[in-house]
A and B are shown apart, each in its own frame.
Chain A
Amino acid sequence: MTKLSLLFFSLCTYAAAQPADLEKRLSDLEKATKSAQSAGDNAWMLVSAALVLMMTGPGLALFYGGLVRRKNILSTMMHSFVLMAVISVLWALVGYSLAFGEGNSFIGGLQYLFLNGVGAAPNSDYAGTIPQGTFMIYQLMFAIITPALISGAYAERVKFSGMLLFTILWTLVVYFPMAHMVWGKGGLLNATLGGKIPTFDFAGGTVVHITSGVSALVFALYIGKRKGIGTEALRPNNLVLAVVGACLLWVGWFGFNAGSALAASSLATSAFVATHFATAAAALTWMVIEWFRNGKPSVLGAISGAVAGLVAITPASGFVKPMPAMLIGIAAGIVCFLMVSVVKNKFGYDDALDAFGVHGIGGTVGAILTGVFATKEINDALNGKPLGLIDGNAGQVLNNAMGAGIAWVLGIVGTLVILKIVDSVVGIRCEPQEELEGLDLSMHGEEGYNLDS
């Protein structure tokens, strides 16, 4: 009998201990789930950061490099590559703080100077499931590619030292404020964190493409046309590299757009999907237009169309459904084609690699169409409130247009002022003899192809 009562007593003690044990197990389970969520999010975000860096190097480097003449290929690639280094240092010192620190409506503060406090702990204002270090490094890749895009305007004639000084000042004066306004806490245009002019820009149509594209136009007008334009054949030296570059841009852009979900979530999926279909539609659109207009569909046209689509879908990617995404791609294909093949020649500005035609205008088209097609069915960013025109909120088109407008103004004014300063201090255009010799030799003392070495 004693054994039985002992057993009975043990069972009762065990049963009585259950409630407290259960609490602990639930709490452990919650922690584990959060940890798994964070692990998934962080893995995706780190990969996305790498993908976006790849867009600059070698994506943009190859895309732009292949389109210039042989004597300038290295210098054009260097414009992208050197910014991977320069902007990174600037970001680590002050950039992240100025863009994402808490300041006012226009610029952040200095709380994250020298990346102080930016580490493993998440910043719940921006991305609550990943270390702030991940968010910081992800955003850096955007800061790198934005000024690199401008190089399309000044290729084949810019002075390297002037270009470096210009880029540092431009990033400080144009990019950091724009990034803060759209994505920073308290930013004027931030749709989800209290902006007065809520602009929907999922991955940077205004911040990245409009600012750089419009600045590119100003730069191209200021620096003047390349020698030989209109009289010499300024043909791409290696379209093969341009195709490779464009493909790397397409693949890398999934990090740019889908990564802007800041989590490995269904929103990331949606952005990935929208990005892909918009790009496909845009590439075909440009190709078909050329087929009819010129009699042959060019490879350059197809890849240019793809890039135009990628640009236009950037602000819309996490807000629109796949079919509207394709419409956005088609619109970009048509408008950018006209900009590049008709308008540019008509007005005669030498935007050498169409940074304005594709990024400036493509970004503007995308920003406005985001106001049209953004829907809470894809992204309930405003907790039940309607997003774009198709949700019944026509005013969003105006807000997005205003956001785009601010990007235009900031780009134009900032670029003009900085160019004047840089030109007087260092000089912005190379000497005529240096331009004839080719920037590879005159600026860097190298040749891109030594085919008989």
Chain B
Amino acid sequence: MKKIEAIIQPHKLEEVKEALKNIGIDGMTITEVRGHGRQKGHKEVYRGMEYQVDLLPKVKVEMVVPDVRGEEVINALAAAARTGKIGDGKIFVFDVSEAIRIRNDERGDGAL
């Protein structure tokens, strides 16, 4: 099994969810995060005090999929999240050693 972790632009979340749903992936975890890669931040000014804000709002999308579906999911996700500009984000892939469905103790691919 593979865990796919994607950091994407917040405004791309709906498109990504839709694209994943269209290929039959409807289990995922979404977190609001802050971070940056090469993207520059912005300047905020409050009553004459300037602050450089480097941590930009992003969305992290995580899901675990069977090995065979890995490439398909990554391509669908990346296509939906892409704008072509700096700040689009990244996808990381991890190996998962076990998955358990809490409700009925199902294990492995069947738990996904």
Residues of A within 8 A of B (CB): 233-236, 290, 294, 296, 298, 300-301, 304, 340-342, 344-345, 354
- Say whether A344 contacts B48, CB under 8 Å: yes
> Once the chains are docked, how many angstroms separate the CA of A354 from the CA of B49?
12
- Say whether A233 contacts B51, CB under 8 Å: yes
> Once the chains are docked, how many angstroms separate the CA of A20 from the CA of B90?
99
A-B contact pairs, 19 of them (CB 8 A): A233-B51, A233-B53, A234-B49, A235-B44, A235-B51, A236-B46, A290-B45, A298-B45, A298-B46, A300-B47, A304-B47, A340-B47, A340-B48, A341-B47, A341-B48, A342-B48, A345-B48, A345-B49, A354-B47
Q: Which secondary structure dominates chain B's binding surface? A: strand
Note all chain B residues with C-beta closer than 8 A to A235.
44, 46, 51
Residue of A nearest to B52 (CB): A233
- Closest chain A CB from B51 CB (angstroms): 5
- Closest chain B CB from A334 CB (angstroms): 14
Q: Interface size of B by Cβ–Cβ distance < 8 Å?
A: 8
Note all chain B residues with C-beta closer than 8 A to A342.
48
Most chain B CB inside 10 Å of its own CB: which residue of A233, A294, A298, A342? A233
> Once the chains are docked, how many angstroms separate the CA of A301 from the CA of B53?
19
Note all chain A residues with C-beta closer than 8 A to B45.
290, 294, 296, 298
- Closest chain A CB from B8 CB (angstroms): 23
Note all chain B residues with C-beta closer than 8 A to A233.
51, 53
* Residues of B23-76 contacting chain A, CB below 8 A: 44-49, 51, 53
- Say whether B46 contacts A300, CB under 8 Å: yes
> Once the chains are docked, how many angstroms separate the CA of A300 from the CA of B49?
12
Residue of B nearest to A234 (CB): B49
Note all chain B residues with C-beta closer than 8 A to A296.
45
- Closest chain B CB from A135 CB (angstroms): 37
Note all chain B residues with C-beta closer than 8 A to A234.
49
Note all chain A residues with C-beta closer than 8 A to B46.
235-236, 298, 300
Note all chain A residues with C-beta closer than 8 A to B51.
233, 235
What's the A-B contact tally at a CB cutoff of 8 Å? 25
> Once the chains are docked, how many angstroms separate the CA of A235 from the CA of B49?
9
> Once the chains are docked, how many angstroms separate the CA of A341 from the CA of B46?
9
* Top-8 shortest CB links A-B: A341-B48, A233-B51, A340-B47, A294-B45, A300-B46, A345-B48, A341-B47, A235-B51
- Closest chain A CB from B44 CB (angstroms): 7
- Closest chain A CB from B49 CB (angstroms): 7
Mark each residue of chain B from 63 to 93: 1 if its CB lies under 8 Å from any CB of chain A, else 0: 0000000000000000000000000000000
Residue of B nearest to A295 (CB): B45
- Closest chain A CB from B53 CB (angstroms): 8
- Say whether A301 contacts B44, CB under 8 Å: no
Further pairs besides A301-B47, A342-B48: 7, Cβ < 8 Å: A233-B51, A234-B49, A235-B51, A298-B45, A340-B47, A341-B48, A345-B48
- Closest chain A CB from B93 CB (angstroms): 29
> Once the chains are docked, how many angstroms separate the CA of A304 from the CA of B53?
23
Note all chain A residues with C-beta closer than 8 A to B49.
234, 345
Note all chain B residues with C-beta closer than 8 A to A300.
46-47
Note all chain B residues with C-beta closer than 8 A to A341.
47-48
> Once the chains are docked, how many angstroms separate the CA of A236 from the CA of B45?
11
> Once the chains are docked, how many angstroms separate the CA of A235 from the CA of B51?
8
> Once the chains are docked, how many angstroms separate the CA of A37 from the CA of B48?
49
Residue of B nearest to A358 (CB): B47
Note all chain A residues with C-beta closer than 8 A to B44.
235
> Once the chains are docked, how many angstroms separate the CA of A344 from the CA of B51?
16
Residue of A nearest to B44 (CB): A235
> Once the chains are docked, how many angstroms separate the CA of A304 from the CA of B46?
11
> Once the chains are docked, how many angstroms separate the CA of A235 from the CA of B45?
9
Most chain A CB inside 10 Å of its own CB: which residue of B48, B49, B51? B48
> Once the chains are docked, how many angstroms separate the CA of A301 from the CA of B51?
16
> Once the chains are docked, how many angstroms separate the CA of A300 from the CA of B51?
14
> Once the chains are docked, how many angstroms separate the CA of A345 from the CA of B49?
8
- Closest chain A CB from B76 CB (angstroms): 31
Residue of B nearest to A341 (CB): B48
Mark each residue of chain B from 7 to 25: 1 if its CB lies under 8 Å from any CB of chain A, else 0: 0000000000000000000
Note all chain A residues with C-beta closer than 8 A to B48.
340-342, 344-345
- Closest chain A CB from B20 CB (angstroms): 26
Residue of B nearest to A357 (CB): B47
